Structure 1
Amino acid sequence: MSTHRESSFSESSDADEEVGFDVNEAPDYDLCEEVEILDHARPTSQGTYLEGVNEGLEPLEDYQSGGFHPVHLGDTLGPSQRYRVIHKLGHGGFGTVWLCRDDQETGYVAVKVMVGDADPKTVSDLILTTFDKSVPGAENIAIPINSFSIDGPNGSHQCIVLPVLGPCVSPNLWLQLGEDPGPILRNMAYQAVLAMKWLHTNGFCHGDFRPSNILVKLNSFDHLSEDELLSLIGHPEKAYVRTESGEDLPASSPQYLTLPADISGLGEKYITDKICIIDFGEAFSISSPPEDLGMPENYLPPEILLEHKNAVGPACDIWALGCTLFEIRQQIALFYMIYDIDELTAEMVRFFGKLPHEWWDNWEARNDFFDDEGNWLRGRPGAQKWSLDVALSKPVEIVHPNPQKLVTLEQEQALLADLLYGIFRYEPEQRLSVEDVLNHEWFKIK
């Protein structure tokens, strides 16, 4: 089920302008050059390839020394083979995440099996366990329940045991929250701020703070049998691994990859109004920030997009938090479907005004979008000026199969705009602090 707005969030792409391709300017390709035609996906450096489906799966290439650990359904992990694998929940650059039955506690858990080159001493998830968990905000962080390591053909792998969580907070969550999702979404946004405060208070930045890393907590489903659970979330589907040579698979490779479960199949009965922050693969200590951030471009602040030196720090988390608050409440990304750095910067200028003088002068692409006064040069004459306020006024609508609309009332629009304008200040030191955000009037709406 998809959402859309009546007004495009990628307006700066200039869809009205004619785009053409001049065959006379085409590269001088050798039309007689032989093209290799494969009847399967391109093989990895080890000569392996996936048979059939390969969408939604981790890269097969990453099953090598220092990479993913080959895991199969029915495998047992941990001390005394405590955790039995029954499905896959997902993957990332850090490793793979598996739905397991805890045969000691007779419940379900998520086990994150990290890549083989991860140093246990620097695994951010484990660092979280050293912080004070009695402080508000800790309950909104995916703090490990248990941890252990396993050895395999690709190295020694740190494993993190976590609670099983539900869908992410955007874009389609509002459809499962009843007739008036607004108060629930605001409360989830507040919990996200609390979680960031807890991290920052402990001298830690998330580094990739966005809705896809904010999941809904679930009511316990430990009482379900494995058959009952799989009937709801789907039985595992496999994509088998083959070798071009026809020889046996290398030890580094699994026999198959498993498509992730549809955890939303548990239904509204198990969804709560509580959230949990996950994925600390990009997290860093405030006292020793990295040179760059690994989060998607449309959550990055302008100082990172414009490649300022020594720009990574808590203010980057704050900017990403602003994008996230908008997206949780509005259920659509603020910088929707815009990934080009110059187009992103241009969209920021449209929302928040001209960049600081030195930034403006050093932005080489500015004349492609604006005149010297910062006036937008593209789009149709007389069209509505695009702004943050206009973006907040546009409802999300579902047309099929049952028409539904998510509307933010004008009073709330004004308060949310005031909060976001305080967050989206160009100079990092002028952005609202996490404490300022928590105390904002938007969260006090009844």
Structure 2
Amino acid sequence: MAPTGTDDHHAPVAPEKDPSPEHAAAHGDGTAETSRDQTGIKDIEEGSRAYRPGGFHPVYIGDVYASRYKILNKIGYGAYSTVWLVRDLSKPDDDEHKFRALKVLSAEAYSPDKPIFEREILTHLRDGDRRQLGYRYVCHLVDDFEHNGPNGTHVCLVFELMGETLRSFGAWFKESMIPYPVMRRFAIQLLLALDFAHEHNVIHTDIKPDNIFVKFRDPSLIESKYLASVPVPQQNKAEERYSPIPSRPLRYFYFNEEDSRRVVEFDIALGDWGVSSWITHHLTERIQPVALRAPEVLIGAPWDQSTDLWNLGALLLELYRAVRMFDGRVPPDGHYEVKQHIAEIVDLFGPFPKELLEKGNQEIVKDIFDEDGKPRGFQPLGRV
């Protein structure tokens, strides 16, 4: 589908090219990428090396999981999972929820040396207070089960389908910028989602464009457009080594032309809770995308749910105007340095409070800060 729009900046227009992310998050927001592994074999997306004991599970079109979910096509992949469009065979043909997203985690994702809380947190959020406004802006777990395969036991998570992530959504608009009325709506919904999570003792810790999903506007397009026009990859179950197949994302098949003129009515959901933490029990102390890290995380101080709000605040500018608030890059090669990142924060918001510095890792604090709460040798950066 190639939605069209008017000259109104609020209407989506077809992008010049598909702005695929470096890798897709859950529910598929990427297109095929190719590389060559050390053996010279041409790989697709996650690469054939991911299919090893403890790694990814080989999934084939037509497979049925949990006696219920039939694999239709691959719609995404990530560092620890592949994501598939499935038909829920327990649903009648006229049920709009008959199609779901199945996320198959690597066998090692839940291994003793890599504990994560994703399934437990998703179950907790799904069973939370539905009366809270933020409940509807979380990408909820529909079902979960375990599947035994040649590479181990895999946790499988079933989700409601989403259209695309905000990593690519901006490309529907002129100059790749999400218009203000839409961005304002999304920002409110994200705040409501975080409020809901925090009220339920959960911290997301990884808020980035890849993890924010635009909801389906017209589920009928899955059958009438996607399945009717998107090619199904050919696979050979007799192959000695599993061959990954390219993702076929749902990006062009979740809203119609009428919806394209009412984009201010679109909704989002906060997803990918794979590295989320409990407020009272952290998965790790090193959290957040590097350029979006909160000050307390940068200096090794204790952190709580407020870090999600910093993360979101820094992200909004990037989503709205395609400009990063902070990046921490230094010349001549543009590599990242914590001191530069801190200098950018000080330049915009002023010195770090003494009370915060006292709580941080003192090796970091003494190495970077002067007695005024600024990086040693700090000079105003003159940024607008």
Q: 1:362 aligns with which of 358, 362, 365?
A: 365
Partner of 1:286: 279
Q: Deviations over 1:250-280 (max 9, x none)?
A: xxx5x21122223222265267610011111
Q: 1:108 aligns with which of 99, 102, 112?
A: 99
Partner of 2:66: 78
Deviation at 1:138, TM superposition (A): 0.6
Mapped contact 1:208–1:283 kept (Cα < 8 A): yes
Partner of 1:192: 190
Partner of 1:297: 290
Map 1:19-34 to 2 at 5 A: none
- From the superposition, tell whether residues 179 and 312 of structure 1 become closer, same or farther in structure 2 (CA, over 3 Å): closer
Q: 1:334 aligns with which of 312, 325, 331?
A: 325
Partner of 1:30: none
- From the superposition, tell whether residues 94 and 313 of structure 1 become closer, same or farther in structure 2 (CA, over 3 Å): farther
Matched, 1:321 2:317: no
Letter in 2 for 1:293: R
Structure 1, unmatched stretches of 5+, are: 4-38, 44-48, 242-246, 379-384, 391-446
Partner of 1:64: 52
Partner of 2:24: none
Deviation at 1:235, TM superposition (A): 2.7
Letter in 1 for 2:378: G
Deviation at 1:52, TM superposition (A): 2.8
Map 1:105-184 to 2 at 5 A: 105=91, 106=93, 107-117=98-108, 118=110, 122=117, 123=119, 124-170=121-167, 172-173=169-170, 175-176=172-173, 181-184=179-182
Letter in 1 for 2:79: G
Deviation at 1:60, TM superposition (A): 3.5
Partner of 1:438: none
Deviation at 1:373, TM superposition (A): 7.1
- From the superposition, tell whether residues 332 and 238 of structure 1 become closer, same or farther in structure 2 (CA, over 3 Å): farther
Map 1:399-410 to 2 at 5 A: none
Partner of 2:42: 52
- From the superposition, tell whether residues 235 and 136 of structure 1 become closer, same or farther in structure 2 (CA, over 3 Å): same
SS at match of 2:52: coil
CA distance in 2 between partners of 1:248 and 1:223 (Å): 33
Mapped contact 1:239–1:257 kept (Cα < 8 A): no
Structure 2, unmatched stretches of 5+, are: 1-14, 18-34, 330-335
CA distance in 1 between partners of 2:278 and 2:342 (Å): 27
TM-score by length of 2: 0.71
Deviation at 1:128, TM superposition (A): 2.2
Mapped contact 2:214–2:268 kept (Cα < 8 A): yes
- From the superposition, tell whether residues 112 and 364 of structure 1 become closer, same or farther in structure 2 (CA, over 3 Å): same
SS at match of 1:98: strand
- From the superposition, tell whether residues 211 and 179 of structure 1 become closer, same or farther in structure 2 (CA, over 3 Å): closer
TM-score by length of 1: 0.62
Partner of 2:32: none
Aligned length: 320
After superposing on structure 2, the runs of 4+ consecutive aligned residues of structure 1 that deviate more than 6 Å are 177-180, 238-241
- From the superposition, tell whether residues 240 and 335 of structure 1 become closer, same or farther in structure 2 (CA, over 3 Å): farther
Mapped contact 2:314–2:324 kept (Cα < 8 A): yes
CA distance in 2 between partners of 1:349 and 1:202 (Å): 33
SS at match of 1:145: strand
SS at match of 1:194: helix
CA distance in 2 between partners of 1:145 and 1:132 (Å): 16
Deviation at 1:75, TM superposition (A): 1.7
Q: Deviations over 1:83-137 (max 9, x none)?
A: 2212222222342211112233243210111222427994232232332223211
- From the superposition, tell whether residues 289 and 258 of structure 1 become closer, same or farther in structure 2 (CA, over 3 Å): same
What is the RMSD computed on CA atoms of the aligned residues?
Answer: 3.6
Q: 2:269 aligns with which of 273, 276, 280?
A: 276
Map 1:339-350 to 2 at 5 A: 339-350=336-347
